[in-house]
Amino acid sequence: MQPVEAPTPRHRSTVGLGLGALLLLGVLAVVMFISITIGARGVGLHTIWTAFTDYDPTSAEQTVIRELRVPRTLLGLLVGAGLGLAGALLQGVTRNPLADPGIMGINMGAAAGIVVAVMLFDGLSQSTSVWVGFAGAGIATVVVYGVASFGREGATPVKLALAGAAVSASLYSVTTGVTMTDLQALNELRFWQVGSLSGRYLPVLSQTWPFLVAGIAVALLMGRSLNGLALGDDLAVALGQRVRLTRVVVFVTVALLGGAATAACGPIVFVGLVVPHVARALCGPDYRWILPYTFLLSPIILLCADVLGRVLVSPSELQVGVVLGVVGAPAFILLVRRKDLAQL
């Protein structure tokens, strides 16, 4: 007997949603261009063009474009998309409107990995800290899912939320204990936990882009599966969906996206929590559209916050994590006031 295909919500016209996605793609291109041109030193179109067509290594402006701003913008694109999609996947698989990468212990896992490595090894370089943070985030995600999987029913949404809170609290205690006894670990954690694209250039981009691109590609293919899970586990199983396999794929993808993004730039808040709700408000409850919209909206918001941080206190710089914290809190309060927020 062939499994019945899960019904999918159709609250928006396909043509309208497609045009909306194209519009967001155009906005993203404009924001990326602005991110490359605006900074402590303004550059013109001619400088940007010659930086790639007729590169002069002695030109400070062309060097800034090639080695600093373009990698920073690309990292913002991938990190923003990764965090947003990780949040959308978690909200879909747990049916929890407050889910974001932090619920799986990713942020605290990366922080704990970094401070423990600093305590054990002197002179932890930035490139090494990326790998250490990524490993810590991955281990924390595996532990959370393993703890939540005990029992016949497996990793239910409630058990995942409780396991994530418990593991995060334990890792927070470890991190606090280490930083209270090791000044170098405290300084390293203070630099990392702000959440910033500043100072993360070609080496960090080259280390993290394969994980982010792979995770983004898998995430964009999960829309139909998340639509099935939205009906509830029992009905999804009755319709022929392999619920446990879907959950495993989602959490591996979230570990790739959230772990790589957090290790590269620190715990950037509100992108994974707020942006999926904005996408849902624009395109309706169909995850086949929520995921692409989140993929486009997240880097737009992250890069806009990064540019705003450069402009507000120029020639100094306000870190993107701080800007998103200030702007994201009121935005989330407005979303909370929506009556349909909890109806995922």
User: DSSP assignment of 174-222, as one string?
Assistant: HHHHHHHH-HHHHHHHHHHTT--STT--HHHHHHHHHHHHHHHHHHTT-
Q: Nearest Cα to 36, choosing from 266, 268, 310?
A: 310
Among 71, 117, 78, 32, CA closest to 260:
78
pLDDT tens figures, 137-153: 888 888 888 888 777 76
Q: Does domain 28-337 have CATH number 1.10.3470.10?
A: yes
Residue 215 has pLDDT above 90, yes or no: yes
Provide the 8-state DSSP code for 4: P
Q: What is the mean pLDDT of the chain?
A: 82
Q: Is 89 a residue whose pLDDT tops 70?
A: yes
Query: What is the residue type of 247?
Result: R
User: Between 225 and 291, where is the model more confident?
Assistant: 291
pLDDT-derived band at 26 (thresholds 50, 70, 90) equals very high
The whole-angstrom separation of Cα 141 and Cα 262 is 13
pLDDT in tens, 92-132: 888 878 788 877 788 888 888 888 887 777 666 667 778 88
Q: Residue 4: what pLDDT? A: 47
Name the residue with higher pLDDT: 344 or 157. Answer: 157
Q: Where are the domains of the chain?
A: 28-337
CB distance 79 to 306 below 8 Å? no
pLDDT more than 90, % of the chain = 21
**pLDDT at residue 123 in the model:** 63
pTM score, two decimals? 0.87
pLDDT of residue 1: 43
Residue 186: per-residue pLDDT: 74
Q: Is 294 helix (H, G, I), strand (E, B) or coil?
A: helix
pLDDT for residue 253:
92
Q: Which residue is it, tokens 């002069």?
A: 56
The CA distance from 21 to 295, in Å, is 10
309 closest CA partner among 199, 198, 201, 200: 198
> What is the spatial distance between Cα 161 and Cα 147, in angstroms, rounded to a whole number?
11
Buried b (16+ CB within 10 A) or exposed e, 219-243: beebbebbbbbbeebeebeeeebeb
Q: Contact 254/82 with Cβ under 8 angstroms?
A: no
Separation of alpha carbons 266 and 260, rounded Å: 10
Model pLDDT, residue 39: 74
- Statement: residue 22 has pLDDT above 90: yes
Q: What share of the chain is helix, strand, coil (3-state, %, to 5)?
A: 75, 0, 25
Answer positive or negative: Cα dihedral of 82, 246, 99, 172.
negative
Q: Which of 140, 149, 129, 192 has its CA nearest to residue 169? A: 140
> What is the average pLDDT across 239-245?
77
Tens of pLDDT, residues 279-297: 998 988 899 999 999 999 9
